[in-house]
């Protein structure tokens, strides 16, 4: 078993500010996930930072759409990366890293929903979301659209967002993975631990439910 | 192809996961059925709106927090890692603790109690003078300044106290039995 090195993850601020990334990080850009994982297991601590770079935003959006709480989603993604760090030496490298990390995040999200159903509470996030919608400064999102069209589109997006949240949990995860994360049926089956038939059935039902919920809103 | 079959296969149809022939049937049904065309249009519009939803960005403090957690993960591991020094220290601490516990509990657990023979403490006459119990009522001096030690002692050991001393079963017991004290040596 390879000893895992202590790491220091470098923030992406430099990249965001338009500065060039450090040469050490650049060399990971052309590598596949498996190769980056191998680099980390071989003792290159910066490889873990590269994995975080590749997956943090994707996982955050996946978990956020699943649990519906931004702060909680951030905590769960932190936990996902900590678990990846601790157990990366046990990862079967014949499989896809992305599927493995999504499985960890998905399981944490499912646990969160299960715990929440046992201890229901009113999330401040839901109140805050409405507050933001009412107090956000008016701005021209698309100058080609008229203000009333803009307002309607924004309103529709919110309704669509709420429609996803209304889907049953096991439908929602499959729906988000397919529609927002672009996963294949086979990947979804592996991430959710279901067989392919179940994934097909759940996805069809989720899409059907989604269409049924939004139909009156679009009329 | 009927509407129910269209709905059953719709998901795989839009993902291109059904046979070519079934796909053509689905397409033909959609073209001819207003209801299924409306369903398809609704779903596609909703899907477009869904994909236009803004995505969340990772907050700036995400990396430092993760960095911090992983640093402590490593820190915890190094503390938990077994080494000769820490192992020996722990073993010696445990040994001393066990010894202390044994010594504290051994008398209570074992059959043998330590028995120490001590000379009997007998309350006799006041020191210095040969004691003769006074049968008369004690007399007290008029003032405290005139009250000498000897008179005081005689007064204390007057006949009321003498009676107590004579018939006290405790005193008799103590006279005949050696005092046994039970405890740790």
CB contact under 8 A, A52 and B42: no
Among the partner residues A9, A57, A178, nearest to B66 by beta-carbon distance: A9
Measured between CB atoms, does B140 come within 8 Å of chain A? no
The residue of chain A nearest to residue B18, with distances taken between CA atoms, is: A200
CATH 1.10.10.10 domain extents, chain A: 137-219
Contact in structure between A96 and A33 (CB atoms under 8 Å): yes
Query: Do A72 and A124 meet the contact criterion of CB atoms below 8 Å apart?
Result: no
pLDDT digits (tens, 9 = 90+) for A18-42: 444 455 566 778 888 999 999 899 8
Residue with the bigger pLDDT between A215 and B77: it is A215
Q: Which residues are within 8 A (CB) of B154 and not within 5 positions of it... i.e. 6 or more apart?
A: B134, B138
Q: Does the pLDDT value for residue B176 go beyond 80?
A: no
B62 touching chain A per CB within 8 A: yes
Which residue did the predictor score with more confidence, A114 or A132? A114
Chain B CB contacts of A80 under 8 Å are none
> What is the phi/psi pair of residue B181, to 5°?
-115, 130
Q: How many whole angstroms separate alpha carbon A163 and alpha carbon A158?
A: 9
pLDDT value of position A15? 47
**Taking residues A1-26, what's their average pLDDT?**
49
Structure ipTM: 0.72
pLDDT tens figures, A72-82: 999 999 999 99
Per-domain residue ranges of chain B = 3-52, 117-182
Tell me the C-alpha distance between B7 and A210, whole Å: 13
Please list the residue range(s) of chain A that carry CATH number 1.10.1740.10.
Answer: 1-120
pLDDT at A124 over 60: no
Tell me how far the alpha carbon of residue B160 is from its chain's centroid.
Answer: 58
Tokens of B7: 């709905």
A93 to chain B, minimum CA–CA distance in Å? 23
Q: For A78, which of B39, B52, B65 is closest by C-beta distance?
A: B65
| Residue B172: C-alpha distances to residues B117, B120, B121, B177 (Å) | 18, 11, 11, 9
Statement: residue B172 has pLDDT above 60 = no
Angstrom distance (rounded) from CA B149 to CA B122: 22
Give me the pLDDT at residue A184, please.
Answer: 94
What pLDDT is recorded for position B87? Answer: 66
- The count of CB pairs under 8 A between chains A and B is 98
What are the residue ranges of helices labelled H in B53-168? 62-80, 84-109, 149-156, 159-167
CATH hierarchy code of domain A1-120: 1.10.1740.10
Residues sharing a CB contact under 8 Å with residue A188, sequence separation 6 or more, in sequence order: A174, A177, A178, A194, A199, A203
Q: How many angstroms separate the CA atoms of A37 and A89, rounded?
A: 9
pLDDT digits (tens, 9 = 90+) for B56-100: 899 999 999 999 988 887 776 665 555 555 567 788 889 999 999
Domain with residues A137-219, CATH architecture: Orthogonal Bundle (1.10)
Question: By CB neighbour count within 10 A (0-12 exposed, 13-18 middle, 19+ buried), where does A15 fall?
Answer: middle
């Amino acid at each position: 078993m390879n000893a895992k090195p202590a790491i220091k993850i470098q923030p992406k601020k430099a990249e965001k500010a338009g500065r060039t990334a450090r040469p050490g990080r650049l060399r990971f850009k052309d590598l596949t996930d498996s190769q980056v994982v191998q680099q980390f297991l071989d003792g290159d601590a910066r490889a873990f930072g590269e994995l975080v770079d590749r997956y943090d935003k994707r996982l955050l959006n996946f978990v956020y759409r699943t649990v519906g709480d931004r702060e909680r989603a951030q905590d769960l993604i932190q936990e996902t990366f900590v678990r990846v760090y601790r157990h990366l030496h046990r990862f079967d490298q014949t499989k896809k890293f992305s599927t493995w990390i999504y499985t960890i995040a998905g399981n944490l999200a499912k646990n969160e929903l299960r715990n929440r159903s046992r201890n229901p509470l009113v999330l401040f996030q839901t109140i805050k979301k409405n507050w933001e919608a009412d107090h956000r400064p008016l701005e021209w999102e698309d100058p080609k659209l008229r203000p009333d069209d803009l307002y309607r589109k924004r309103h529709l997006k919110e309704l669509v967002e709420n429609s996803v949240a209304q889907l049953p949990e096991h439908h929602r995860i499959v729906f988000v993975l397919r529609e927002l994360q672009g996963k294949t049926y086979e990947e979804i089956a592996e991430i959710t631990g279901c067989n392919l038939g179940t994934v097909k059935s759940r996805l069809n039902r989720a899409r059907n439910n989604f269409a049924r919920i939004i139909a009156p809103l679009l009329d | 192809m009927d509407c129910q079959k269209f709905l059953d296969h719709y998901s795989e149809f839009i993902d291109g996961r059904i046979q070519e022939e079934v796909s053509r049937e689905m397409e033909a049904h959609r073209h001819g059925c207003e209801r299924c065309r409306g369903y398809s249009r609704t779903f596609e519009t909703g899907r477009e709106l869904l994909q236009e939803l803004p995505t969340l960005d990772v907050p700036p403090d995400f990396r430092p927090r993760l960095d911090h957690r992983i640093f402590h993960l490593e820190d915890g591991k190094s503390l938990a890692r077994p080494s000769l020094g820490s192992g020996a220290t722990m073993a010696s601490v445990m040994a001393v603790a066990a010894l202390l516990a044994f010594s504290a509990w051994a008398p209570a657990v074992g059959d043998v109690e330590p028995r120490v023979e001590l000379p009997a403490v007998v309350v006799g006459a006041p020191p210095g003078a040969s004691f003769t119990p006074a049968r008369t009522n004690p007399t007290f001096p008029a003032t405290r300044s005139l009250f000498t030690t000897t008179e005081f002692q005689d007064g204390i050991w007057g006949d009321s106290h003498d009676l107590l001393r004579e018939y006290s079963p405790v005193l008799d017991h103590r006279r005949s039995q050696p005092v046994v004290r039970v405890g740790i040596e």
